[in-house]
Amino acid sequence: MGCGRVGSTIARRLEEVGHSVAVIDQDPAAFRRLGPDFGGRQITGLGFDRQTLLDAGIDSAGAFAAVSSGDNSNIISARVARETFGVQHVVARIYDEKRAEVYERMGIPSVATVPWTVNRLLRELLSVKVSELWREPTGTVLLMRVTVTEGWVGRRLSELETASGARAAWLVRFGESQLSTSGTVLQDGDQLVLAVTDEITERVHEVVERAPQGGER
């Protein structure tokens, strides 16, 4: 949603790497930024309007980026995409830093205008959600945010810890932080904060990205 400089660039890049793309904007003139070779859908309307989203194919979408010029529009449309239509990869551009922090805690990555780029938006839409949150003063241990991938849904958190060598500091579920237990079972949309060392960060990426081995739960 949003066909400004950021939105149009994301749309073209996604199409270049083989994805089918639909772009929503209130102003039909904005679609000129896509260029004559863009083959995706161009939908004129409000990005948080249910019918507009359905016309754009939201019910079968793998990812949704809210990058219009308005915080409120981006927040509402991102929540509708995530909560109403169950889109797994949702990212919103938020100008207000305080609001951005709130939506990060709700599991919707929020990208501020100045310090972030199109590459960060693309990474949130396409890649496994693993990012560094904090590093302790000696640099030995760091906290990483991990979004639970489909292969781990329904598995015990302890399995992921054993496979990766990381330790769960806390879990964010439905926007609420909680401490995990030995019996915690991972759910779709869960966000984990893992304590890791540099030596195992690559393994954490690999383990989160692939489905767990074996059939036991």
Tens digit of each residue's pLDDT (9 = 90 or more) over 129-164: 667 778 887 778 989 888 888 889 899 999 999 999
Q: Which stretch, 48-62, 90-104, 180-194, has highest mean pLDDT?
A: 48-62
pTM of the model: 0.55
Q: Crossing angle for the helix pair 118-126 and 5-16, nearest 10 degrees?
A: 50
d(CA 52, CA 41): 12
Q: 61-116, pLDDT tens digit by residue?
A: 999 999 998 888 998 999 899 899 999 888 888 877 667 666 666 666 666 554 44
Domains and CATH numbers, the chain: 5-126 (3.40.50.720), 130-209 (3.30.70.1450)
**Structure tokens that stand for 11 in this block:** 């749309």
Q: What angle do CA 24, 94, 56 make, to 5 degrees?
A: 15
